Every structure is written in structure tokens, then in C-alpha cells.
Amino acid sequence: MIEQLFGATLLFKSSFEKGVYLETPKRNSTPIWWQEIKGKDNSNFSWPIKLQDGSGTFQMITNDANISAYIENSLEEVEGINRTKSRVLHQTIKKKEHEYSQDPYVIYTKDREQKQLYIRYSLKFPANLANILGRDGWLAFSEYKTASDYRLAFYIYCNREKSLYWYAHGDNVVLDDRPYKEYWSRESHESVKAGEWMDIEIFWSRSKKDDGRVWLAVDGKVIIDYRGATKLKEPIHEIMLFTNYASTPIEQWIDNIEIWDNFPCGEGKSCHKN
């Protein structure tokens, strides 16, 4: 059955409960390991996530033959966002072989673009996140890239006073052969709740004109709402719904994923506690 709210269609939903499982990581000839998550819980949707004619997988970027010494994904039972037992995804980067070592769940899409997308999930970091990142440290928790001309990225930064804050921007970090260019940026100094579950909601609408939009809400509070151009020429080619990528080794927990083709609780409205 297709679930709809306020004209939005549910594209995927999962809470990693019984029936969802991780396969053993595999490596090809590049310095990348790949790990599949498969199965189906009580949501009526099956892993892997499929969007824009593409299929998702974990991309574990390290060249060492012993992947578990560097990066590990696991499913474990913990206290969830509602303080009840929940089976969640635990992502750990134990040490970084390269500066760019990371562990995104990435969907490589076809040329047909999902013009807009709403993503919601529960996210938790260690309680000492500020000390882990250190002064001027950073982590990226969600990214969206074209093949060569545009990246949309969401971050948590740690300033020199070890205060955490939110940041989002559009830039050209897709290929490494050009001078850096940032198209727009927004930051928010609303509280980052380290050591607690946060309800993350992301919405983006792709446009070359001023009707584009990038929206981020945390625990129901809208902290970023950029309106303007969000596209150059190309469609989104890599959808990284969540990623474990930071300036230092780090771990995080993910749960309760929902993906819709528009705002499901009303235009510009958070679904927190819904």
C-alpha cells in the first residue's frame, strides 16, 4: 500500500528491526570496501534503498586488507529515541588510513533526478563529541553530489572554544581538479545534543533558479532554511542519506529512517513527534 501524507508519497521506511541484516564487507580493485544491508522489518520496505533507479550500499573507504581494524558497521540493540529498546545501525571509524576515509550509505543514481526529497532519521553521537572533534574539527552527516559540478553537504563543526554548531552549503567538491568554489552557505548555533538521540529532518529541492530550497530541522526546530539556486546543470548522482565522515575517527548511531518525495507533514513543517 502506498502511504501518503499532505500529497507526499513515502518512498522508504525502516527501523533496522528483526529481518534486516548486514552482509560481509567485500573489496574490489580500488581502495574501497562495499557492504550490503538487506532484508525487511515491519515497515513493508526492503533493503537496499532504491531511489532514482539506483540501489544503495555502504562505501567503506580504506585500502587496508583488515577492514574491521579501520571501519565497522553493526546492528545492535540499544535504548532508542523513545527510551525503549530498539535495534539500530552503529557505524564506527576506529582509525583513518586517509584524510578522506569515510563510511557513507550511498545510492548511485541514474540520470533521472528526484527533483525534491525529504529525509528523516534518528541520529546519535558520543557525549564527548566536542572533545573528539577538537578545535576546528568537523563531521559531515549527509551529502548529495552530482557527477562533476555540485555538492550539497550538512555538517557539525566545533569552533576554537569547543562549541558545536550546524553548517550546510552548496559547493563544487565533487572532483579534485578545480579551484574551490562555495555557492552558498548557512550556519546555525542552535544546540547540538551530543550523547542524546536527535530527530534529523532534511529537505532539498533542486533548481537553477531562486525557487530552490535546502531545509534542516532538528528535534522539530527549523535551523536552516536556504532559498535560492541549488543546481548548476547535472542531476544528483550520489545520494548519501547518512555518512560517517569526520576530521577524526568517530562513531555514530542511526535509526528510524523515512524518505518521502515532499514534506509529509505540510509545507515547511517538521514531523517531530508525529
**CA angle (25, 246, 220) in 5-degree steps:** 100
Query: CB within 8 A of 191, min separation 6: which ones?
Result: none
Fold that domain 4-260 belongs to in CATH: Jelly Rolls (2.60.120)
Instruction: Return the pLDDT at 111.
Output: 74
pLDDT mean over 57-72: 88
Question: Could you identify the residue written with the cell 534503498?
Answer: 49
pLDDT mean over 97-110: 90
- Whether 223 contacts 234, CB under 8 Å: no
Say how many Å lie between the first and final Cα of the chain, rounded.
Answer: 20
- Give the pLDDT confidence of 178-235 residue by residue, as tens digits: 899 999 999 999 999 999 999 999 999 999 999 999 999 999 999 999 999 999 999 9
Instruction: Return the pLDDT at 28.
Output: 78
Instruction: Return the pLDDT at 2.
Output: 57
pLDDT > 70 fraction of the chain, expressed in percent and rounded: 99
- The CA dihedral of 156, 161, 162, 167, to the nearest 10 degrees, is 0
Reported as type and span, the H/E element at residue 142 is strand 138-145
Tell me what the pLDDT averaged over the chain comes to.
93
Closest CA to 103 of 191, 167, 32: 32
Strongest mean pLDDT among 16-30, 94-108, 134-148: 134-148
Instruction: Return the pLDDT at 1.
Output: 47
- Give the pLDDT confidence of 7-48 residue by residue, as tens digits: 899 999 999 999 999 999 998 767 789 999 999 998 889 999
Q: How far apart are CA 178 and CA 187, in angstroms?
A: 25
The predicted model scores a pTM of 0.95
- Is the pLDDT at 100 greater than 90? The verdict is no
- Whether 223 contacts 217, CB under 8 Å: yes
**Across the strands, what pairs with 154?**
142, 168
Closest CA to 5 of 120, 114, 113: 120
Instruction: Return the pLDDT at 112.
Output: 78
Tell me how crowded residue 98 is: count the other CB atoms within 10 A of its CB: 11
Tell me how crowded residue 134 is: count the other CB atoms within 10 A of its CB: 13
Grid cell in block for residue 260:
518521502
- Is the pLDDT at 243 greater than 90? The verdict is yes
pLDDT grade, residue 147 (50/70/90)?
very high
